Amino acid sequence: MFETATFDSMGTIHTRSRNWMLATFGFNTSILTLLIAIPLLHPSMLPQMRNCIRLEPPPQVQETPPVAQQAPAAASPTDMPDGRIQAPPTIPTHTWIPTVPEPPLPPGTISLAGPIAAPGAGCDPFNCGHGRDTAVQKVVEAKPHVTSRVMEGMLIYKVLPTYPPLARAMRVAGRVELQATISRSGTIENLRAASGPAPLLGAAIDAVKQWRYRPYLLNGDPVEVETTIDVDFKLD
């Protein structure tokens, strides 16, 4: 008797719950049907319904602000007026020359280039000599120096200097010593004065730069040589 009552009460509870769900479903269905039917039967009511229904805008997505690129720093204004270089008001008469020599480097100082170890001299064969800035020195071959007596025998064309009238009027005479490079073809190059009276230097240079020599051969090949050329000026 107790179990039957319990079953009847549970059945009643389930029946009421099912009836409530059906009533709720029917109510929601009628409201949805009414919302769909009203715009179809009365289109003029759409603006009013639009006011009743609030549509919230979707949340705005915050965009990541772009990274501002730094503009290059503007050049500082120059102290020169109007951007032009002007001459100083006064020109110094003496040039400063240091009298104290620079102190030598302390022992154990390593140069910027650093020593370069040869392969197989106790270094890593994969990293030996790599990763270092090496200074490539250009080897300049020194020109052989030939005496003036030897080059006089190889002279094939000679122009005598013109005695400067001012030097003649001043009774200036003497020897002008010039240094020159004889090219492979025998022409005069890099002609410069070494010693001699100043009034006679220009005339000596003008004449000697026209001289021509036979090419100087070294091991059968013509080479450039350095030599000394003497020009004598004598008064009659």
pLDDT digits (tens, 9 = 90+) for 2-19: 444 444 555 565 677 777
Residue 57 reports pLDDT greater than 50: yes
CA-CA distance, 189 to 208, in Å (whole number)?
Answer: 10
Length of the chain: 236
The pLDDT value recorded for residue 61 is 67
The pLDDT value recorded for residue 191 is 94
Looking at the structure of the chain, the number of domains it has is: 2
234 CB-near residues (< 8 Å, 6+ apart): 173
Which is nearest to 192 in space by CA: 182, 177, 207?
177
Which of 66-70, 138-142, 149-153 shows the lowest per-residue confidence on average (mean pLDDT)? Answer: 138-142
Which is nearest to 224 in space by CA: 106, 135, 144?
144
Residue 202 belongs to a domain with what CATH number?
Answer: 3.30.2420.10
Residue 164 reports pLDDT greater than 90: yes
Q: What is the pTM of this model?
A: 0.41
The pLDDT value recorded for residue 56 is 62
On whether residue 125 sits in a domain, the answer given is no
The pLDDT value recorded for residue 169 is 93
Confidence of residue 173 (pLDDT cuts 50, 70, 90): very high
Residue numbers of the domain that contains 24: 13-49
The pLDDT value recorded for residue 135 is 45
For residue 135, which amino acid is it? Answer: A
The pLDDT value recorded for residue 8 is 52
Percent of the chain at pLDDT > 90 equals 36
DSSP output for 94-138: S-----SPPPPPPTTPPPSS---PPTTSSS-TTTTT-S--PPPPP
On whether residue 85 sits in a domain, the answer given is no
